[in-house]
Homo-oligomer: A and B are copies of this chain.
Amino acid sequence: MTDTSMKIADKKSCENCPIQHSAVCSRCEPDELRRLEEIKYYRSYEAGQPVIWAGDHMEFVASVVSGIAALSQTLEDGRTQMVGLLLPSDFIGRPGRDSAPFDVTAVTDLTICCFRKKPFEALLVSTPHIGQRLLEMTLDELDSARDWMTILGRKTAREKIASLLAIIARRNAALNKEMPGNGMSFELPLTREAMSDYLGLTLETVSRQISALRKAGVIELDGKRRVVVPSYEALLSETGDDVDGGMIA
């Protein structure tokens, strides 16, 4: 926990916080926010650095402010599976539990806003808005974890890659407050290895399938990481998803 790469940032106000409208604190009244400010502090990590090891005692919960973190799990022989990809405003940790069930690692340079766990748990009971927002966020996480399970359990390597690209494209469009459309482009925030951990593949297979999608004209590459999507429809048709089912309403 006392990591040399970890830096404690200066106390910042919530006023200019980039995630104030979507994080756990987004529903808070001014006085609730004030109480949160009293128990918060920032931490920053460089890309690749560990944030928490599975089994560690957790003295805080946190929100991702900027950058990307990964939750992952490792089997006895070293095989690892990413089980969560945490973007800005996503929540780390779990009130009411002492030790972390999964490893948390900084995928890119990362800044998080930590809340001391004990007082945060107290706030959860005494003020309704935090708990309500956390419930909403957790239900969303659960839904996307379930979609992810279908990707892991039933999709081919090609479909897995197409699905991941579609997810990143969608999130990226949402970040820019646009609809995903033709000609859109984005930077891949993950290495080939991180993608393989996300999708339950090897990095070689990831590389091959990205090449295959490129050769098929589904995507174009600008360098290793920048992806251009000529036709969003074409990308979606590679994911194997049932376009209707579950999307009617």
Contact = CB atoms under 8 A, between A and B. Distances in A.
Interface of A: 54-55, 57, 71, 73-77, 79-81, 83-84, 94-102, 124-125, 128, 131-132, 134-136, 138-139, 141-143, 145-150, 152-155, 199-200, 240-249
User: Copies of this chain, how many?
Assistant: 2
Most chain B CB within 10 A, of A57, A154, A243, is at A154
B149 A246 contact: no
Contact of A149 (B99, B128, B134, B145): B145
A62 to B, nearest CB: 15
A39 B211 CA distance: 55
Contacts of A141: 142
B154 A80 contact: yes
Nearest to A55: B248
A244 B55 contact: yes
Contacts of A136: 96
| Interface SS majority for chain A | mixed
Nearest to A143: B101
Contacts of A94: 139, 143
A205 to B, nearest CB: 13
Given A73-B146, A146-B83, A153-B81, A246 B54 contact: yes
A147 B74 CA distance: 10
Contact of A76 (B71, B98, B149, B243): B243
A57 B149 contact: no
A73 B246 contact: yes
A244 B99 CA distance: 13
Contact of A249 (B81, B95, B98, B124): B98
Contact of A145 (B80, B142, B155): B142
